[in-house]
Chain A
Amino acid sequence: MEPLLKVENLRIELTTRDGIAPVIDNLSLELNAGESLSFVGESGCGKSMTALGIMGLLPDKIGRIASGSIIFNGEDLTKASDARLREIRGNDISMIFQEPMTSLNPVYTIGEQIAEVLRRHQNLSASAAWSKAIDLLDAVRIPNPKARVSDYPHQMSGGQRQRVMIAIALACEPKILIADEPTTALDVTVQAQIFDLLRDLGRETGTAIILITHDMGAVAEMADRMIVMYAGRKAEEGPVEQIIDHPRHPYTKGLISCVPHLMATLTDERPELTEVGGIVPGLKEFGRDACLFASRCDRVDDKCLSARPPEMAFDNQQFAACWHAKEV
């Protein structure tokens, strides 16, 4: 079966003061309808850039897709016109952002903001869009939606605003929902509610979800498959359970061991909490033909420093870009 979204050899370049840096380097991925895929990695590894690249929303004049293709439903989005991209955005592919506090327009009621998307993409009449907005608020589990629909964003809490964002994103029943760290700004209890909501609604509407996060716990809870990104390159890809069970890339291993374990009693001895030593290389280093993780890796040898590791495939559909993947 043809995948819903197929990204091939994508390279996104950013123009910086020091020259051009490939923030996404030779990234390929596939997403099937209804599937949920997670992007994991630390800040600046290119997770959000990939999302913006797919949406065609890279920052003007600074970022551009240098090569590769993004095939959505048989259509190459890198070659699509602005008008066509606007049709797709919010209708076929939609996105929710990190900061629910500032992601809604403060001067319109939430009902107006939900209804606007419906009117634009589905040509609903004003009254039909309004009543569908109320249904959507109900679907994202906002209590008393009939009264809340004419509230302004400042009258809602962070969790409620993120629910409204989800309602806007899912209003047109898109095929793909990109969630860019949707819970980073929220309380832990609210985070769990938002993840539940995303998962349930994703299942109901058959929407494929791309979850961008640096929270391994969220990945384990939400996703079927995951891609670990490091410095703009794919480090590892595979089914979530397999990777958490047996990571094949030293970086993934490091990330997983960074997650603290909850203990039943506080006095029990805890396993030592490790960290991944060192820092991500600067943007200048990104294009080099070497393993970019080498400076932080304890398995580093000459090969790692002289050539970029190819993707090593394993029987369980796990891929790892490491010269030592078999030994890890």
Chain B
Amino acid sequence: MSSDTMNKPASPPEEVVKARHPAAEAWEMFRRNHAAMAALIVLSIITLVAIFGPIFWPADPFEMVWAPFSPPGEEGYVLGTDYLGRDLLIMLIHGARVSIVIGLAAAFVSIVIGVTVGALAGFYRGWVEEVLMRFTEFFQVLPTLLFSMVIVALFGASLPMITFAIGVVSWTAVARITRAEFMRIRELEFVMASRASGTKNLRLIFGVILPNALPPIIVQAALMVGSAILFEAGLSFLGLTDPNVVSWGQIIGSNRQYILDASYTVTIPGVAIFVTVLAISLVGDGLNDALNPKLRQR
């Protein structure tokens, strides 16, 4: 086999693999999941309402506009009024913003903590992993609702503090997923190849391994937005909320004494939370289908 025979144009050309961009492929998979697509549409509408609703209905949600306990549909108040005679529709629209922002921000906080802890533990192994994972387990065994209530009760019920309290109790799952992904990916050849070209550890962690570990983290993040909204509702229901802003959980919490007399005051925000969290979960499920290569049918 001499070299010149190989360079002739007659030599078999290397096959060019025609493959599509991974993101396009993932979108294709996502689109096939009808429930997830429907959920995405619902979620988009809710998000649009949360962003633009208060602009179109700039009324103060705390203003008393009509007689208390007016059932839905009466006097033009589509969703009725609560125990203080406040318009439930306006409260719902304004509350969407707070609920969703808290959901996103708390999920962000827990992703940042979880990814950092998991990445360092999975990359360095050894004593770093021991220390970080014991730390993670410590947070894992804490009763989450109780712990976040303590934080909010101690440091005040402001929105940032509530967000922090939710994020700080829910990062452990992210840390475990990230660590597992890092332990798998760090052994792959391209990481070794990257080391062999002189890449620094920090760049290896965040530039080389993390982008490859993202799919399951993205799925977890989506689900976490949903659980953070629920968590916020739970805290508000117990009264641990910023009294100056309206959120869905807070509407339920403030009307809870009248649950038997005017059940719609609790049901309507409850349904809003239910629909939103369900939509987020379905989208998360669709993302899982789209991003998890093991579930992909070829």
- Partner-B contacts on A (CB < 8 A): 55, 57, 60-61, 86-91, 94-99, 102-108, 116-117, 120-121, 152, 154-160, 165, 168-169, 189-190, 192-193, 196
Residues in chain A near residue B3, CB distance under 8 A: 192, 196
* Residues in A neighbouring B15, C-beta threshold 8 A: 157
B208 within 8 A of A: yes
**B212 touching A107, Cβ below 8 Å:** yes
Contact B197 A189 (CB under 8 A): no
Q: Which residues of B contact A157 (CB under 8 A)?
A: 14-17
Contact: A87 with B188, CB < 8 Å? no
Known: A97-B189, A97-B192. 17 other contacts (CB 8 A): A55-B196, A86-B199, A89-B196, A89-B198, A90-B197, A94-B197, A95-B196, A97-B193, A105-B190, A105-B194, A105-B208, A155-B17, A157-B14, A168-B197, A189-B11, A190-B14, A196-B3
Contact partners of B195 in chain A: CB under 8 A: 57, 89
**Subset of 5 A-B contacts with CB under 8 Å:** A86-B199, A90-B196, A95-B193, A156-B17, A193-B6
Complex contact A192–B196 (CB within 8 A): no
User: Are A57 and B6 in touch, CB under 8 angstroms?
Assistant: no
Chain B interface residues (CB < 8 Å from chain A): 1, 3, 6-7, 11-12, 14-19, 21-22, 125-126, 188-190, 192-200, 208, 211-212
Please judge, given known A-B contacts A94-B196, A156-B17, whether A196 and B6 are in contact too, CB under 8 Å.
yes
Residues of A with C-beta under 8 A to B190: 102-106
How far, in angstroms, from A99 to B190 measured CA to CA in the complex? 9
CA distance A116 to B18 in the complex (A): 25
Q: For A98, list chain B residues within 8 Å (CB).
A: 189
Q: How far is the CB of A218 from chain B (nearest CB, A)?
A: 11
Cβ-closest 10 pairs across A and B: A90-B197, A90-B198, A89-B198, A95-B196, A102-B189, A107-B211, A159-B14, A86-B198, A103-B193, A157-B14
When A and B form their complex, what is the total count of cross-chain residue pairs whose Cβ atoms lie within 8 Å?
A: 94
**Could you tell me the distance in whole angstroms from the C-beta of A283 to the nearest C-beta in chain B?**
21
Cβ-closest chain A residue relative to B197 = A90
Which residues does chain B contribute within 8 Å of A193, judged by CB atoms? 6, 11
Minimum CB distance partner of A171 in chain B: B197
A88 touches B198 (CB 8 A): yes
CB contacts (< 8 Å) of B198 on chain A: these are 86-91, 117, 120-121
Inside 8 A of A196's CB, which chain B residues have their CB? 3, 6-7
Pairwise interchain contact A61-B14, C-beta atoms closer than 8 A: no
By a CB distance below 8 angstroms, the chain A residues around B16 are: 155-157, 160
Which chain A residue has the least Cβ–Cβ distance from B190? Answer: A105
Alpha-carbon distance A95/B199, docked complex (angstroms): 13
How far is the CB of A88 from the nearest CB of chain B, in Å?
7
**Which chain B residue shows the least CB distance to A93?**
B196
Q: Which residues of B contact A168 (CB under 8 A)?
A: 193, 197
Contact partners of A57 in chain B: CB under 8 A: 192, 195-196
CB closest residue in chain B, given A196: B3
Residues B192 and A155 in contact, CB atoms below 8 Å apart = no
A105 to B206, CA, bound (A): 13
Chain B residues within 8 Å of A103, by CB: 189-190, 192-193
**Which chain A residue lies CB-closest to B2?**
A192
CA distance A98 to B188 in the complex (A): 12
Contact residues in B for A189 (Cβ distance below 8 Å): 6, 11-12
The minimal Cβ–Cβ distance linking B129 to chain A, given in whole angstroms, is 12
A87 — which chain B residues lie within 8 A by C-beta? 198
Chain B residues within an 8 Å CB radius of A155: 16-19
B22 contacts across to A, CB distance below 8 A: 106, 152, 154
What residues on A are CB-neighbors of B18 within 8 Å?
155
Contact A61–B197 (Cβ < 8 Å): no
Give the chain B neighbours of A152 by CB distance below 8 A: 21-22
- Using A61-B126, A105-B208, A159-B14 as known contacts, say yes or no to A192 and B1 having CB atoms under 8 A apart: yes
- Please give me the residue from chain A that is nearest to B15 by CB atom: A157
- Cα(A74)–Cα(B18), bound, Å: 48
With both chains docked as a complex, state the minimum distance between the C-beta of A303 and any C-beta of chain B, in angstroms.
42
For A148, the closest partner residue in chain B by CB is: B16
A203 CA to B6 CA in the complex, in Å?
19
A159 to B292, CA, bound (A): 27
Nearest A residue to B208 by beta-carbon distance?
A105
Shortest Cβ gap from A196 to chain B (Å): 5
**CB closest residue in chain B, given A51:** B196
With CB as the reference atom, state the residue of chain B lying closest to A86.
Answer: B198
**CB of B74, distance to nearest CB on chain A (Å):** 57
A60 CA to B128 CA, complexed, in Å: 14
CA distance A104 to B126 in the complex (A): 27
Chain A residues within an 8 Å CB radius of B197: 89-90, 94, 116-117, 120, 168-169
| A contact residues around B125 at 8 Å (CB) | 60
Q: How far is the CA of A98 from the CA of B192 in the complex (A)?
A: 11
Contacts of A156 in B (CB 8 A): 16-17
Tell me the complex Cα distance, A140–B192, Å.
22
Complex contacts, A117 vs chain B, CB 8 Å: 197-198
Q: How far is the CA of A159 from the CA of B208 in the complex (A)?
A: 23
